[in-house]
Amino acid sequence: MQATSRRCRWASIPGPNMREAASMYGTAVAVFLVILVAALQGSVPPESPFPYHIPLDPEGTLELSWNVSYVQEDVHFQLLVRGLKAGVLFGMSDRGELENADLVVLWTDGGRSYFADAWSDQKGRIHLDNQQDYQLLQAQGTPDGLVLLFKRPFATCDPKDYLIEDGTVHLVYGILEEPFQSLEAINISSLHTGLQRVQLLKPEVPTPAVPADTRTMEIRAPDVLIPSEETTYWCYITELPQGFPRHHIVMYEPIVTEGNEALVHHMEVFQCAATFESFPHFSGPCDSKMKPQRLSYCRHVLAAWALGAKAFYYPEEAGLAFGGPGSSRYLRLEVHYHNPLKIPGRRDSSGIRLYYTATLRRFDAGIMELGLVYTPVMAIPPKETAFVLTGYCTDKCTQLALPSSGVHIFASQLHTHLTGRKVVTVLARDGRETEIVNRDNHYSPHFQEIRMLKKVVSVHQGDVLITSCTYNTEDRKLATVGGFGILEEMCVNYVHYYPQTQLELCKSAVDPGFLQKYFHLVNRFNSEDVCTCPQATVPQQFASVPWNSFSRDVLRALYAFAPISMHCNRSSAVRFQGEWDLQPLPEIVSPLEEPTPHCPTRGAQSPAGPTVVNIGRGRA
Amino acid sequence: MQATSRRCRWASIPGPNMREAASMYGTAVAVFLVILVAALQGSVPPESPFPYHIPLDPEGTLELSWNVSYVQEDVHFQLLVRGLKAGVLFGMSDRGELENADLVVLWTDGGRSYFADAWSDQKGRIHLDNQQDYQLLQAQGTPDGLVLLFKRPFATCDPKDYLIEDGTVHLVYGILEEPFQSLEAINISSLHTGLQRVQLLKPEVPTPAVPADTRTMEIRAPDVLIPSEETTYWCYITELPQGFPRHHIVMYEPIVTEGNEALVHHMEVFQCAATFESFPHFSGPCDSKMKPQRLSYCRHVLAAWALGAKAFYYPEEAGLAFGGPGSSRYLRLEVHYHNPLKIPGRRDSSGIRLYYTATLRRFDAGIMELGLVYTPVMAIPPKETAFVLTGYCTDKCTQLALPSSGVHIFASQLHTHLTGRKVVTVLARDGRETEIVNRDNHYSPHFQEIRMLKKVVSVHQGDVLITSCTYNTEDRKLATVGGFGILEEMCVNYVHYYPQTQLELCKSAVDPGFLQKYFHLVNRFNSEDVCTCPQATVPQQFASVPWNSFSRDVLRALYAFAPISMHCNRSSAVRFQGEWDLQPLPEIVSPLEEPTPHCPTRGAQSPAGPTVVNIGRGRA
């Protein structure tokens, strides 16, 4: 065990909060601190700095940087705390709640300060963790604020700990404004707390080289005045130059107006449909009544970015075609402003910078939709906490529509509406699940990034792709049916792949005839009646199902058994030739095994309790 | 950290195996050993000796003693190895298989010897455990053999480890006859291995005082010649003296003929039915064709013992009545001889010693049957790995049949036929599950002990008792229906309680009308036909169900939803007055939460790898 100590100054940023705090406790906040870092154990701050950054709170008080070691299976965190008051709380939880969270806490009892691995129970009470898996490596005062450096393994095998997985991680934070006698005394509900979503385990994909003739184009918001409302989706129509020829987008990156880093939540660039000659110009909230109807035809994704994401690179052998004949010149930029503090008067010109080349790469990249058809026959009963719907891309469709050399999926964007909680796509071959294409066990419909896959997934003729979405309808009173409406549901994985093929959509839904058998049998088991007459629509039928354990379980059983109707479509909704109705569900004889988490061997390096971070109190 | 070393002699029992081993390796087996005990850490051998003992193998080569600390939440094991060869392997697994087992291994590479916590994968390959949770405390040569003393926490939170729970634990062992270069080199399939079932976590119930006028009576096998067959159930009829008045059994204990400790698997004493004046005498295998028919009326349990169990005490305020008017004088002793090595010529007079008093205690103890009615309407589809059936004792029945002061359950015997894998009974009050009456997550139909409860469970009027059994029918081709036959199934918890009431049976089964609706809907969804005509019996109907995911899931849904028929019966099958058909399933609004296992804090005491047990090689 190694112990180092160092003396340094608290950052003293004389902001109003600090003055408040100073007067509150009668002592100064610019204090001297002596850091006792308990266990450095071969973990000097890693040589590469922290490639990933994200502001945690809208004021930018807390800033997180991190890096990932897939070899060590751990994450190094660097947390910058501006204007530290009495402490800070940081951690992760299933969906961003402060209850049942896995936490690190830096707190002071007025004299000493402590750093500890802790957890909160379902009532939000904080407890010291038996196993100290967050390991403090350094605490340092800098001109910007206090910098805490700590690391944690992906998996700790402590049942109180969060398992860091691929996909979305809900980070939580809290600001301690006053000393607490103990961890247990901290009252979460009295703190300023919040959450931030991020993909913590970024893939370690080597950055492909960008061709020498690469040019850039910026699709940016036109100096928008950010509305002082919590949520705004801003729509802006722009266009490519007249006669802009066919190019390949090889990369793109976000441009975020300085100072607005915590407000710009996500941005997407869509290409409009080639069916229309022209599109009206527009700049305003996407839900504005002034928004021209036609803009709903601008849905073909060219680029998508969300908070915490970095530049997106196409594989060296592929690019996304845009421009040239047969494609629309019109582009729609959508910016999601998240302004929970309703800060007024902020102007913004954020957007996306496209890097493109005229030297077309070997392959066009394509986007394929996997999952469920947008139809009400796929429905989720109300009051379900984790109802799963599954969409299939069958062997018959991949056999017919994919080239014999297969296609290669390199990125994926998962999509559901409001009740989606998890999404996963699995590849199966000869009845055996072999590989996960993309999985997000903490999926949020408010955080739909395009994500590079850690490993390119090759799909061959005859392969099956199974996309499952888990929904939570606890707050709904009626069944949630599939459809386009925001209160209806979707289950989609937009996979980015090359070489582009004719297959644009490979999705399924339960056979409608079998659904009618379901309504019949529900009637047989219940006194209330579901109308199985021809004039009733499926949403009406679902609305009249009496939701008891039997009707729920049997709907689940139906979806797991009944034949499906396949949509194996070219662009513009033309099906490939063949029989696509009443198809058997793909049979899986060997599901993918869940890997057992690899528990780190714990040795002398783990402290048994809190690490003392002796913060002496200084002068004003 | 403390380290002790000691020198002692290997026990040298010059059995044939040892001579073999000696010649095999050309070196002697009587070796000197230097023990390096790595981590004694406050764990000197506990002061109380080991109250529990069990032979592991039929030859008695391995003998396990243990004690349990509910405060420390750990078990101390003392393993006696007679005639040690090259090592020994001991551990636990779900159902006694050597694959996926949690192991400790003592092995030698020919030079040094090692002790380590290990695990076997699903192919039976052995791996060193990342976390060393079995902690060696002492290794000592004694005249009887090598004695290994080690301990393990109930829960380790290592996903490779077995969780030691209440109920049956399947202990596994293996004998290493030759050195192995490493743990990984050990080939389990080449070892002499086996399993032994035991209740490891014995309840810590204070032994009640036995009255001064206690007398004893021995019900013993009449010097039986144990058949040289793997399994024999021996039946022996004996009788109480003429005019034997009413007494209370206050305790009983096993009498096992010396030398037969590993052969006598379990014993039960049954009282015959009072309906018959007399019963014919008999001594022979229970499945003998010579066995008088009438003996099947000798089913009322007076006492039951199984391997590893100790004396059974009734609570001080209660006793089990026997003798006197209205009860039969005839008793049936059943002894299960387990003789896998088919040792011939062994004679046995094992049995049970009843301790009884003429001074009747305040309360008669009673036995009540909970669970499922023996009826084919409760069925398990074939090829299921974990199908659950549940039987209810409803609030309506306990309201009617229990005294207002309630009853107190102090012991329980779980019962299923061959496919039973888990059994649990939960108590619910006002829709909330409050307490587990008895649970066995590793239940085996071959190990049906009466178990004292750790804590007496009081059942009041209006309480609900829910008994669930989990079955494995992987090896069956047709549905397994409920019934008396050995190939049919049961789900029963015989609870021992006081004061005795009229309620002898509180069990349920699905309403038969709803089961017919199930067969109807299976027909609607499938091409094959289940006859729903009146002449078809339920077993015939189940035999013709096409077992696909839908018919399985919907049967599960039916049992979780359909109303039940209650058997709320006095003795001799007389129902309490009331409407017992088409009863609603008890509604559970708050199920019992699974406790998170309490992971021990690991500190410096846990070695990171194998402990060296330096075994020097000596002379012949």
The predicted-structure confidence for A228-262, as pLDDT tens digits, reads as follows 988 899 999 999 999 999 999 999 999 999 999 88
Amino acid identity of residue B531, one-letter, is C
The predicted-structure confidence for B567-599, as pLDDT tens digits, reads as follows 999 866 678 999 999 999 999 999 998 877 777
Chain B nearest C-alpha distance from A7 (Å): 30
The predicted-structure confidence for A583-613, as pLDDT tens digits, reads as follows 999 999 999 988 777 776 655 455 667 777 7
Catalytic status, residue B415:
yes
All CATH 2.60.120.310 domain ranges of chain A, comma separated, are 214-361
CA A506 – CA B113 distance, rounded (Å): 60
Other Cβ atoms closer than 10 A to A329: 19
Q: Is the pLDDT of residue A11 over 50?
A: no
User: Confidence band (pLDDT; 50, 70, 90) for B551?
Assistant: very high
Could you tell me which of B122, B513, B566, B192 has the C-alpha nearest to residue B370? B566
Q: Is the pLDDT of residue B546 over 90?
A: yes
Q: Are A493 and A437 in contact (CB under 8 A)?
A: yes
At A314, list the tokens.
């196409």
In a mutational test of the B interface, the residue from A553, A555, A556, A589 whose CB has the highest number of chain B CBs within 10 Å is A553
In this complex, the residue of A158, A562, A601 whose CB is nearest that of residue B608 is A601
Q: Which residue has the higher pLDDT, A611 or B565?
A: B565
The predicted-structure confidence for A495-533, as pLDDT tens digits, reads as follows 999 999 989 899 999 999 999 999 998 988 887 778 877
Q: Are B235 and B295 in contact (CB under 8 A)?
A: yes
Establish if A158 touches chain B: CB-CB under 8 angstroms.
yes
The predicted-structure confidence for B114-137, as pLDDT tens digits, reads as follows 999 999 999 999 999 888 889 899
The predicted-structure confidence for B351-379, as pLDDT tens digits, reads as follows 999 999 999 999 999 989 999 999 999 99
The predicted-structure confidence for A37-94, as pLDDT tens digits, reads as follows 333 333 444 445 899 999 999 888 999 999 999 999 999 999 999 999 899 999 999 9
Choose the most confident range, by mean pLDDT, from A383-397, B437-451, B529-543. A383-397
The predicted-structure confidence for A201-211, as pLDDT tens digits, reads as follows 999 888 888 89
Q: Is the pLDDT of residue A618 over 90?
A: no
Size of the A and B interface in Cβ pairs below 8 Å: 81
Q: What is the pLDDT of residue A396?
A: 97
Q: Is the pLDDT of residue A492 over 50?
A: yes
Choose the most confident range, by mean pLDDT, from A44-58, A93-107, A478-492. A93-107
- Which of B9-18, B112-121, B174-183 has the least mean pLDDT? B9-18
Q: Which residue has the higher pLDDT, B392 or A210?
A: B392
pTM given for the model: 0.82
- Which of A412-416, A554-558, B295-299 has the least mean pLDDT? B295-299
The CATH class of the A214-361 domain is mainly beta
In a mutational test of the A interface, the residue from B121, B123, B128, B131 whose CB has the highest number of chain A CBs within 10 Å is B131
Establish if B550 touches chain A: CB-CB under 8 angstroms.
yes
Q: Is the pLDDT of residue B140 over 80?
A: yes
Q: Is the pLDDT of residue B248 over 80?
A: yes
Instruction: Give the burial string for B246-256 (b: 16+ CB within 10 Å, else e).
Output: ebbbbbbbbbb
Which value, in Å, is the radius of gyration of the alpha carbons in chain B? 26
Percent of chain B with pLDDT over 70: 89
Q: What is the pLDDT of residue A15?
A: 36
Mean of per-residue pLDDT scores for chain A: 87
All CATH 2.60.40.1210 domain ranges of chain B, comma separated, are 52-202
Catalytic status, residue A415:
yes
Give the list of residues 6+ apart from residue A23 with CB closer than 8 angstroms, or none.
Answer: none
Q: What are phi and psi of A377, to 5 degrees?
A: -65, -20
Q: What is the pLDDT of residue B202?
A: 92
Q: Which residue has the higher pLDDT, A37 or A449?
A: A449
All CATH 2.60.120.230 domain ranges of chain B, comma separated, are 365-511+565-570
Give the list of residues 6+ apart from residue A142 with CB closer than 8 angstroms, or none.
Answer: A11, A80
Q: Is the pLDDT of residue A19 over 50?
A: no
Establish if B599 touches chain A: CB-CB under 8 angstroms.
yes
Could you tell me which of B497, B314, B270 has the C-alpha nearest to residue B401? B497
Amino acid identity of residue B391, one-letter, is G
The predicted-structure confidence for B96-106, as pLDDT tens digits, reads as follows 999 999 999 99
At A342, list the tokens.
């309703």
CB contact under 8 A, A550 and B556: no
Q: Are A547 and A382 in contact (CB under 8 A)?
A: yes
Q: Is the pLDDT of residue A619 over 60?
A: no
User: Confidence band (pLDDT; 50, 70, 90) for A572?
Assistant: low
From A521, which residue of chain B is nearest by alpha-carbon distance? Answer: B521
What mean pLDDT do residues A127-133 have? 87
SS3 for A555? helix
Percent of chain A with pLDDT over 90: 65
Q: What is the pLDDT of residue B209?
A: 86
Amino acid identity of residue B526, one-letter, is N
With vertex at residue B410, the alpha carbon angle to CA B404 and CA B414, rounded to the nearest 5 degrees, is 110
User: Confidence band (pLDDT; 50, 70, 90) for A162?
Assistant: very high
CA A483 – CA B232 distance, rounded (Å): 65
User: Confidence band (pLDDT; 50, 70, 90) for B280?
Assistant: very high
Q: What is the pLDDT of residue A239?
A: 94
User: Confidence band (pLDDT; 50, 70, 90) for B402?
Assistant: very high
Q: Are strands A113-120 and A215-220 parallel, antiparallel or unpaired?
A: unpaired
CATH (one of 2.60.40.1210, 3.40.50.740, 3.40.50.150, 3.40.950.10) for B52-202: 2.60.40.1210
At B207, list the tokens.
């032994």
CA A522 – CA A376 distance, rounded (Å): 18
Q: Are A87 and A176 in contact (CB under 8 A)?
A: yes
Classified by CATH at the fold level, domain A365-511+565-570 comes out as Jelly Rolls (2.60.120)
